[in-house]
């Protein structure tokens, strides 16, 4: 690895997660949180270009992050072809994710940082996978807990088996499948050492669905059970509005509480907190991606784990539609998310 190489990054989607979400967060330890702020902070990256179809949002992002006006594009394809970035960030909504990722992978990007949820259909997800594998493109999905120092400690504790073997995982606030389920499913995979999913059984809340077009018109809240090849079961509930996770092992339980702010271990005889130094997960994700380019292989992330969590999202939907358990690998049913989602105005100042 040559630690001196600086990779040139370009951003597609200059709104909240792309550029301004740090202004919404009151916890300085989470910063840098947006993609743009992450590239600025990372010593191994330069942010050289940006693209958005909203020119006002793009201009303010460009001015905020010192991106030359000639490198601000309304057409992301032109930006990629003209500026030839090493890394392309895709912070659009999932409905606009696949086309950008596939174009970037086929046109010279070495790495892609794509926001969650990965795609609006499982078919798109597989096309993104093929494009990245064919072109040897490193890929990290913006499921931030995967790169979080606290969840790394929780995962390591489970792996070392000092609490005995992992039996059960519980997520108490799974949320809507694309927005929050994407984070939760990725985390359950991480906590269970990326064991393969064998089946899911799920039901969804309000389900706004065009059955002819097979289009989901909103992001449904979902809950269900995930079974893994190693015998572990994960329960993805919506029984609390507090974001909390339990990993129940043979001889103790490790819980992430306060949305991963604190980690508590319970055994028969003692209760203690994990000593965790909080760092920016976005910055860790970017360093992880840089390392993947350096040595041409995934580390904490990668396209395979991104596909695995996306398969759970669409497995949940298929289970709800077919009223049955879905055994993996399953035959895709051609379901698309298509919400006509209007982008929000980012918060430009704290």
Ligand X SMILES: NC(=O)c1ccc[n+]([C@@H]2O[C@H](COP(=O)([O-])OP(=O)(O)OC[C@H]3O[C@@H](n4cnc5c(N)ncnc54)[C@H](O)[C@@H]3O)[C@@H](O)[C@H]2O)c1
Report the interface residues with ligand X, using CB under 6 A: 12-18, 21, 51-54, 57, 76, 91-94, 96, 115-116, 142, 144, 179, 343-344
Nearest residue to ligand X by CB is: 15
State which residue, 14 or 197, has the beta carbon closest to ligand X.
14
**CA 261 to CA 244: how far, in whole Å?**
10
> Rounded to whole angstroms, how far apart are CA atoms 316 and 291?
33
Rounded least distance, CB 8 to ligand X, Å: 18
Q: Which residues of 43-52 are buried (b: 16+ CB within 10 A; e: fewer)?
A: ebbebbbbbb
Residue (21 or 128) nearer to ligand X, CB: 21
Contacts of 291 (CB under 8 A, 6+ apart): 1, 299
Cβ distance to ligand X smaller for residue 332 or 343: 343
Are 67 and 85 within 8 A, CB to CB?
Answer: no
Least CB distance to ligand X at residue 257 (A): 18
163 contact partners, CB below 8 Å, separation of at least 6: 157, 249, 250, 251, 252, 253, 254, 265, 267
Give whichever of 13 and 224 is closer to ligand X, judged by the CB atom. 13
Tell me which DSSP letter residue 212 carries: T
Q: How far, in Å, CA of 140 to CA of 146, rounded? A: 10
- Judged by beta carbon, residue 163 or residue 177, the one nearer ligand X is 177
Nearer of residues 60 and 253 to ligand X, judged by Cβ: 60
Question: In whole angstroms, how close is the CB of 266 to ligand X at the nearest point?
Answer: 28
DSSP for residue 197: E
Strand partners, 143: none
- Give min distance, CB of 109 to ligand X, in A: 15
Smallest separation, CB 74 to ligand X (Å):
7
Q: Which one, 54 or 214, has the nearer CB to ligand X? A: 54
Smallest gap from Cβ 57 to ligand X, in A, equals 5
Give burial (CB, 10 Å; 0-12/13-18/19+) of 173: middle
Q: In whole angstroms, what is the distance from residue 246 CA to residue 232 CA?
A: 13
| Minimum distance from residue 331 beta carbon to ligand X (Å) | 26
């Amino acid at each position: 690895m040559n630690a001196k190489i600086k990779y040139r990054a370009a951003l597609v989607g200059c709104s909240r997660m792309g550029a301004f979400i740090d202004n919404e967060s009151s916890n300085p330890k989470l910063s840098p949180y947006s993609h743009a702020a992450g590239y600025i902070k990372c010593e191994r990256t330069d942010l050289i270009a940006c693209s958005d179809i909203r020119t006002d949002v793009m201009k303010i992002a460009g001015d905020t992050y010192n991106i030359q006006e000639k490198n601000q594009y309304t057409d992301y394809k032109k930006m990629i072809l003209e500026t030839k970035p090493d890394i392309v960030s895709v912070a659009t909504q999932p409905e606009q994710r696949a086309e950008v990722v596939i174009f970037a992978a086929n046109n010279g990007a070495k790495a892609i940082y794509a926001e969650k949820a990965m795609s609006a259909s499982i078919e798109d997800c597989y096309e993104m996978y093929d494009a990245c594998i064919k072109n040897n493109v490193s890929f990290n999905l913006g499921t931030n807990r995967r790169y979080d120092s606290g969840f790394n400690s929780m995962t390591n504790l489970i792996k070392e088996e000092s609490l005995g073997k992992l039996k059960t995982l519980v997520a108490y606030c799974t949320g809507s499948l694309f927005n929050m389920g994407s984070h939760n499913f990725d985390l359950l995979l991480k906590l269970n050492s990326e064991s393969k999913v064998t089946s899911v059984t799920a039901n969804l809340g309000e389900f706004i669905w065009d059955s002819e077009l097979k289009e989901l018109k909103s992001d449904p809240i979902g809950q269900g059970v995930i079974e893994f090849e190693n015998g572990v079961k994960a329960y993805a509930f919506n029984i609390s509005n507090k974001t909390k996770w339990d990993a129940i092992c043979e001889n103790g339980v490790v819980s992430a509480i306060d949305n991963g702010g604190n980690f508590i271990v319970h055994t028969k005889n003692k209760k203690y907190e994990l000593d965790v130094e909080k760092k920016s997960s976005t910055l860790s994700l970017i360093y992880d991606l840089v390392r993947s380019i350096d040595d041409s292989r995934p580390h904490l992330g990668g396209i395979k784990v991104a596909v695995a969590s996306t398969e759970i999202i669409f497995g949940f939907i298929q289970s709800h539609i077919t009223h049955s358990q879905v055994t993996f690998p399953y035959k895709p049913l051609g379901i698309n998310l298509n919400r006509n989602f209007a982008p929000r105005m980012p918060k430009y100042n704290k």
